Amino acid sequence: MFNRETYISRRQKLKQKISDGIILLLGNVDSPMNYADNTYYFRQDSSFLYFFGLDFQNLAAVIDVESDEEIIFGDDASISDIIWMGPQIALIEKAEKVGIANTKPYKDLQSIVEKAISSGRKIHFLPPFRAENKLLLNELLGLSVSKLKAYSSVELIKAIVSLRSVKEIQEIAEITKACAVGYQMHVTAMKMAKVGVWEQSIAGTIEGIANAGGGMVSFPVILSQNGETLHNHDHSGSLQNGRLLLVDAGAEVGSHYASDFTRTMPVGGKFTQKQREIYEIVLAANNRARELTKPGSTYLSVHLAAAEVIASGLKSLGLMKGDVKEAVAAGAHALFMPHGLGHMLGIDVHDMEDLGQIYVGYDDEIRPVNQFGTAYLRMGRKLQPGFVITNEPGIYFIPALIEKWKAEKINTDFINFDRLDSYLDFGGIRLEDDILVTESGCEIIGDRIPITPDEVEDMMR
């Protein structure tokens, strides 16, 4: 938890951005694995954490924008809670640590909200993503669950996005810690990637490193020799000589700030010539994207520049053809990179994704591109100092997609389909760093995980 002034100041800035009414922010509740008391790890709602810092279950908060009143709703531990969980600090004491002097029993939330509704006041709430909070909002507001997203407050979403997008120095320090844990996860995977090793034993080991770092993984580990499947969570295979292993994994530390890295390595420790050729193109795209990432540039333009590096590299190998800029404008590169260059990173691995990507990654000036591939870009807007984003280009050979484009004659002016036959069992390569936009450009957060082919081979040795 940060200091009291942090939370007071964040709420103050939030209030200044909302014209009237009340802001209702819900914490999360426990999610049971198989019965109520056997729960998954508790994960607090990130916006609740950002403004109220309290990292435990069954809390809600109301901020009255007009009267300035701020209330946390929750209940003190009962004697049976204390028997099972040990002595607990009173809610008011915890609330004071984040600058809140007013707490009320959770059951009082209903009457406060009802009073606001009956006085015709605006109630600003965020689009809920957990079933329990959908049901709670349905009860509190009398809105059907299917309408909650449409009635959530765009004013509140935009206000929160504008605050959470620009990271404070102390937030960057937390992300840096998460990156240090991520570094250990990835070099461990490199050292373990020997022929015959069970994929799950690597996935489990690196998940343990995240856990031992004080938190947990920032998303379920993606680790696969079928890296062409972008989010492959099947870890049932054993490592086979000559294949590529793609590992996309990160940690969130105790404060919940996250890291997210991808590296791709040759099982057995030595890239083949063919693998190196493709790898070097992805690495060049990653490096080019970093060179171009600076305040004032849009991440959409950086994405397209990375796509040009990929198209140009693949052209030099004879897999693509024609004019590179025209190929990218036509979306031909997306056969090989059918995803965006990156996303915001913060308390969430895809930061603020619950608030709506259109508000997080786009604005009035930069709108999403409705073209296969670039349509998946989560972050396109103009960059500002303090943004933390991922830089994660990739090249994949996805047999089903290649077959489809070939059969439907899509982008035949730019792709040498006949040359792709010998790549159908190649897999995929993605190289992902976490970067901070600075006043003059950007920097990689923490030590860069080994990334050149030689560095990777050295680490694997």
Burial class (CB in 10 A: 0-12, 13-18, 19+), 120: exposed
Least separation in angstroms between residue 271's CB and ligand GLY is: 23
Q: What is the DSSP letter of 42?
A: P
Residue 260 or 308: which CB sits closer to ligand GLY?
Answer: 260
Q: How far is the CB of 378 from ligand GLY (least distance, A)?
A: 8
- The least CB distance from residue 403 to ligand GLY, in Å, is 25
| Segment interacting with Mn ion, rule: CB under 5 A, options 106-114, 194-202, 313-321, 386-394 | 386-394
From the DSSP assignment, how many helices (H) and strands (E) are in the chain?
16, 17
Tell me: does residue 260 bind Mn ion (CB under 5 A).
yes
Instruction: Please give the distance of CA 348 from its chain centroid, rounded to a whole number.
Output: 5
| Closer of 56 and 219 to ligand GLY (Cβ) | 219
Amino acid type, 257: Y
Q: Which is nearer to ligand GLY, 124 or 263 (CB)?
A: 263
Where does this chain touch Mn ion (CB under 5 A) — which range of 178-186, 217-225, 329-337, 383-391? 383-391
Match 């809600």 to its residue by tokens. Answer: 60
At its nearest, how many Å lie between ligand GLY and the CB of residue 388?
13
Q: Which residues pair with 388 in a beta bridge?
A: 436
**Sequence-separated (6 or more) residues with CB below 8 Å from residue 332:** 311, 320, 322, 411, 413, 414, 415
In this chain, which stretch among 62-70, 105-113, 253-261, 283-291 interacts with Mn ion, using CB under 5 A? 253-261
Q: How far is the CB of 260 from ligand GLY (least distance, A)?
A: 5
Q: Contact residues for ligand GLY (CB under 6 A)?
A: 219, 248, 260, 343
Residue 165 binds Mn ion, judged by CB under 5 A:
no
Task: Enter the tokens of residue 91.
Answer: 């809610």
Q: Does position 46 bind Mn ion by CB under 5 A?
A: no
Judged by CB, which is closer to ligand GLY: 61, or 437? Answer: 437
What residues does 442 pair with on adjacent strands? 437
Token digits of residue 246: 């793609």
For Mn ion, which is the closer residue by CB, 27 or 361?
361
| Residue 264 touches Mn ion, criterion: CB under 5 A | no
DSSP 24: E
We find the least distance from the C-beta atom of residue 376 to ligand GLY, in angstroms, to be 10
Contacts 24+ apart (CB under 8 A), 201-206: 202/235, 202/247, 203/235, 203/249, 206/247, 206/249
224 binding partner (options ligand GLY, Mn ion, none; Cβ < 5 to 8 Å by kind): none
Min. distance of Cβ 379 from Mn ion in angstroms?
10
Which C-beta is closer to ligand GLY: that of 153 or that of 391? 391
Minimum gap (Å) between residue 222 Cβ and ligand GLY = 6
CA distance 323 to 306: 15
Alpha helix (H) residue ranges in 293-410: 299-316, 324-329, 357-360, 399-407
User: What span, in angstroms and rounded, lies between the C-alpha atoms of 229 and 264?
Assistant: 13
Report CA dihedral (427, 392, 329, 292) to the nearest 10 degrees: -140
Is residue 364 within 8 A of residue 357, CB to CB? The reply is: no
Nearer Cβ to ligand GLY (198/219): 219
Kindly state the smallest distance separating residue 158's Cβ from ligand GLY, in Å: 23
Pick between residue 258 and residue 398 the one whose CB is nearest to Mn ion: 258
In the block, tokens 């990218």 appear at 328
Q: What element of type H or E holds 70?
A: strand 70-73
- Judged by beta carbon distances under 5 to 8 A according to partner kind, the member of ligand GLY, Mn ion, none in contact with residue 259 is none
> Is residue 433 involved in binding Mn ion (CB under 5 A)?
no
Name which position in 6, 390, 391, 411 contacts Mn ion (CB under 5 A): 390
Query: Residue 72 Cβ, how far from ligand GLY at the closest point, in Å?
Result: 33
Q: Which does 198 bind (CB under 5 to 8 A by kind): Mn ion, ligand GLY, none?
A: none
Distance between CA atoms of residues 454 and 112, nearest Å: 62
Options 184-192, 212-220, 385-393, 420-428: segment touching Mn ion (CB under 5 A) = 385-393
Q: Cα(69)–Cα(31) distance, rounded to whole angstroms?
A: 31
User: Rule CB under 5 A: which residues touch Mn ion?
Assistant: 260, 390
